[in-house]
A and B are shown apart, each in its own frame.
Chain A
Amino acid sequence: MTGTIFDIKEFSLHDGPGARTTVFLKGCPLRCRWCHNPEGLKREEQLMVKTARCKSCGRCFMPCEHPECQLFKRCIHACPEGLVEISGKKIEAKELAGILMRNADILNFNNGGITISGGEPLMQWEFVEELIESLDCHTAIETSGYAEKDIFKRIIDKVDYILMDIKLADREEHKKYTGVYNDRILENFEYLKSSGKEYIIRTPLIPGITDTEDNLKQIGEIVGDNPWEKLKYNKMAGLKYPMLGMEYMIK
């Protein structure tokens, strides 16, 4: 099974217990306005240019013959600063597992493991399933909770730890700011509670959107006594938008 990933991050500290390696899967059905991983939104490979340091030398615009560059009409092997890259790499689940397991000794020693994140990893659930089955260590998933019930259940049952977002409690607000209603998410949360799995609910604090008293109170009621973490908004979140030719909607 082939999937598309856009990053692997070693020693991620905020993605579950212990020291972990997090793999980011490409594609997400939501469009949160504040999303800090814009390259995780689209399933397809994308051109990513670190524009801030570009010296406008024009080398990457010269025609080239690399097949991988043709789609983008820009050469990814020409930049002397290494600023032009393709975000998104197709990889077999087993091969990915092999790469991740190279550091199994360190992960185990540090009571950590592998976290599968995104985008929304459940968009590639079959790939995720095969990946988990090939990993011989503690596994975690970072999800928006937006997935079909059966799929959600199927994957949750296979991982050791779940980090799930509840961003907005109000149905309409959720639609307004993320592009989808939260019905599925709340329904999946019910399953998560009954699953017996270790998990944590997270709410990103977006000024004026999710950090309102009202929203936090309502989420608090939904979550009840279960583990809940509020994540501070990172001012650098908009950094990558210009690199993808996109505009960040939060000011």
Chain B
Amino acid sequence: MPSAQKPMRYGHTEGHTDVCFNDTGSCIVTCGSDGDVRIWENLDDDDPTSINVGEKAYSCALKNGRLITAVSNNTVQIHTFPEGAPDGILTRFTTNANHIIFNSDGTKIAAGSSDFMVKVVEVADSSKQKTFRGHDAPVLSLSFDPRDVYLASASCDGSVRVWKIADQTCTTSWPLLQKCNDVINAKSICRLGWQPGTGKLLAIPVDKVVKLYRRETWDSQFDLSDTFITQTLNVVAWSPCGQYLAAGSVDGCIVVWDMESQKSIERMKHEKSYTICGLAWHPKYKQIAYTDTEGNLGLLENIGDEKKPNDKVTSRATKDYNDLFDGDDDYLSGDMVEPQSSPKSRANEDDDDDLKPTSGHFRRTVIDDDDNSLDIGMIKANSNLLEKEDDDDDQTGGFSALPPSSTQQPFYDGPVPTPKQKPFQSGSTPAHLMHRFMVWNSVGIIRCYNDEQDNAIDIEFHDTSIHHATHLPNSLNHTMADLSTEAILLACESTEELASKLHCIHFSSWDASKEWTVDMPKDEDIEAICLGQGWAACATSALLVRVFTVGGVQKEIFSLPGPVVSMAGHGEQLMVIYHRGTGFDGDQCLGVQLMELGKKKKQILHGDPLSLTKKSYLIWVGFSAEGTPCYVDSEGIVQMLNRGLGNTWIPVCNTREHCKGKSDHYWVVGIHENPQQLRCIPCKGARFPPTLPRPAVAILSFKLPYCQVTTEKGQMEEQYWRSVVFHNHVDYLTKNGYELDESAKSQAVKEQQELLMKLFALSCKLEREFRCVELADLMTQNVVNLAIKYASRSRRLNLAQRLSEMAVEKASELAAAPEDEEEEEEDFRKQLNAGYSNSAMEWRRQPVRNVQQDQEMEDAEETDAYEEVEETPEVHKERPNPFSKGVTSAEVTTPKSVVIASSSQGRVNPFKVSSNKKDPVVPSANVLDTMSKYSKKNGSSSGRAVNKQSPPVIKPLIPKPKSKQTSAASFFQARTLNSSEKTVEEREEKSGNESHEVKVTAQENTENRRPKTGFQMWLEENRANILKDNPDLNEAEIIKEGMSRFRTLSSEERTAWTEKAKGGTVNDSAEDKKRKRPTADEDEVEKNEEQKSEDSNLSKKPKPLDQSANVRLSAFAFKQS
């Protein structure tokens, strides 16, 4: 049977290494460029004895309890073995020795140095030295003749020489090697060897063959070669019996020949194809220990243990478990690696996983279908060279954790299960680090120091007003932590004596005892913890989730369907991520449970699968500051729960897109939805930050992966949907009874509608009318009206008609479900109730209404009428300055300033220059106050009529190409107008035959304060006529009728009316000032504005009435342009 190749394991830092066995073969001794000599009991020895011999060790040899090493301070030292005590210096060179060897009885050593010299020194008496001069370049390797007559040496000058030890003369010299100037440039270090015992043959590795020279005659006896060898051979080693010869090449091949048959009996390939630079036979068994230039140690066993030489190319592809997690670092795998005493090289973490410590506990075996394997039935593992070249693609074939056994394993080449991801705390760095973050979240940072002097935990709060920074001793060795504004939660795993403990420091407690601990039952380890508001939870290895109050009362317990991965808490919400099953081909198979632990406990996500990027694992899970569940996978994709789409997940950011380098990552610490911020720490060349220097938080923006975001359309679509997704939390929170700043929501709605309108305009421009309708479908009622106006103004009559149909539909839908609206508006009312008392509004004394009451109100028409009145203030709230009709582009800022004024804690910028003539920061209550006074004066009926203060103001229309900006600027105003009007209309419908006089007064009320247009003046004069002709017309129809009549007038007459109107408005000074703004464009905007409002009024009005009005409107729009 073929040799068993044990997996390589990490021995030294990368660089040249050497290996030898001790005399009995009980341990392997290696030395490496880290200057340590390690003594391994066996390959699985996780705690090898280390002897530091210098800065770098080039070669070592061991015999008779003496360990000699060639080190970088140019000396050859002796240490006792196995104690490792220094025992003096044997010899010195002017530069370092490259190879040292003992002779067969251990009395002499030979050392070859880079200063071209070879020395033979007696171990007992270092003064007896023999120097061999003759090489013209650094000496590479040496070999003692077992009979102590000759010494062979190979040098960089290309020659291999044989010296006679006695008289220090060169017996023979072969120019076999390539010349070079230094050892590091040598193609091969040419470790040559005499055959043990008789010393009949000298084996020299030359290029791809081993040349064997006969003693005394010094002629080439024969060559050993093999097709398996594709690169230069570096090392040869004889078995102690002299029957076998092993050779290692620079590309990691090891071939063993049987000297009798001169046939190769073993072929082996290094799992990573590193250069073999040390080979040593076990003194008794058929074992070869080998090392490579990357510092790894490997062992081949049972060499040549079979009757007939086996031609099979055997290799045992072994894989480190760690490799599965794409080894940029050991973020995850670090925890899984067996503890190692050897200092782990951090240097190789940056780059690739080539140097992963191989613990051999998890290995993957690839089995090849082989003729013999079935016959023998004993083939443990023989693979083709599947994994020879795919170091970088390390997640291909192989399955994990198969214990090597001598029984036949079934052939399997299906999908390969992925090792399950270990549990982790979000915002923590790997537990094996000496200095690590236990948690970094939006509340604060918990750091853990675990070095020689100190084992402590440092807690620091971002906001020092929550709590001061704290320093705790970590005597229990806590590994998990979470932090909230109420408490610190720590947990440790169980040890042999102590149970796993949950430790809570409830610093916000008002009593004196602020701490509590809970012991887990025996054999139950805490694996993940989290804190919510008023509760703490931990998930244990017994697949349980235990919930505690923050004061330490045990509450609910529930089982998890699989091992936990991570947990997160926020407010009442608890999110648990666990393994649903086994993932395949590098994917994880995770499930998520989301539940609310508040008054009414319910589960929202029932173990739904978690969507992760292919071949990635979870690295962060938590809630946004607003309470929306989010998670991040190792590919940097941030996903967020979209409550607006049936609790699905939506990718909101790809942090890798922001990275500059390939190995850079962002370490997420928090997510905020309003403002949209992804808080994370940039890590150069790593996945997580070090504790020092203190990392700084960076802010990334979110971006939904919509198509064609480079185009204007794609960009706006992305913005729209992002705004929608990032305001889902508003609905959720209101539903769950959280107090919310309403201004934020209205701001969001405003932003979304604005985007929709822009998209609409864009589609209009691109002649995509169908798309326009689709977009209009997303708009709110008011914005649809604006869209209709836009469409009619851009002469898309068909579109305008369709939109108005849609608007009718929407209106009817709205009417069908008015209670929804009521609900939304309720908060407005509540806010308004405060500074608003009016005798006419008795209903305000009613208790705060709920949905039920709203429904009752629906039934009672009278109450409903009041309802409408009630809505009015809301309308004005959005526009604190309803009287300044002259809207400029600055109007856009007006709602904002109101927002500031209305939000209770928001402060006002006293330095802000506003373009509004009136103080923009008049609190909305003031406006309302004046309004209520006004309405008092005029009695209840005219109080209602206040609504009508923005009636259609009709002017000669000047068609103008509208820019998108103006439309955006105008639409808020238009909206408010519309809504106020709508209410009036609805009221009209309901209260039926209200006297027209009221409206006339209303009209006059407004006209008192606003400039009259020619048409209005004309209408006033002619109203009576119209009424006489058509006594059953209502207000809107009167205006329409009036308009058609006005249009029939001759142009001179019309101009005359207009002139008249201008003369009549002089007294309106406030308005006049606005009108006289110097900049013409502003004026234009203004006009546009008014036109628009007219338009919207016009287009609005006919809607509930009849279709013909629409047509008329279109005709009107057409005519004007």
Pair from one complex: no
